[in-house]
Amino acid sequence: QVQLVESGGGVVQAGGSLRLSCVGSGLGLNFRNWRMGWFRQAPGKEREFVAATSWVSTDYADFVKGRFIISRDNVKKTVYLQMNSLRPEDTAVYYCAAKAQSGVEYRYWGQGTQVFVSS
């Protein structure tokens, strides 16, 4: 059974930083083969892509470039999202997701962690 468990969300003032973590289990022996992504969904809005990383590439949404950094520890089966220079518009539930490198869609999702940025 695959599980993705996020942590690290919370309340922070604008300009502050948070580091989100996502621990994966049940993804098999080679965690490195999975493309791991972060998405977010703000109240009343559609879920949107934030960042993703695999051994092939690392990609960011334009609105987080230069502020957020995605990284992973394949031994710990964990992916991180370092969020700096946070803005009130970054307030959302952040989700971790996993996609097979050859897959089209993200197959597995975590339960989400809430980030609230106060002005």
Ranges of the chain with pLDDT below 70: none
Query: What are the tens digits of pLDDT across the range 33-67?
Result: 999 999 999 999 999 999 999 998 999 999 999 99
Question: Rounded to an integer, what distance in angstroms lies between the CA atom of residue 35 and that of residue 106?
Answer: 9
Question: Rounded to an integer, what distance in angstroms lies between the CA atom of residue 80 and that of residue 88?
Answer: 21
Query: What percent of the chain has pLDDT above 90?
Result: 91
Largest CA distance in the chain: 43
For residue 30, what pLDDT is reported?
A: 86
For residue 102, what pLDDT is reported?
A: 83
Give whole-number Cα distances, 53 to 10, 33, 38, 49, in Å: 23, 10, 9, 12
For residue 68, what pLDDT is reported?
A: 98
For residue 21, what pLDDT is reported?
A: 98
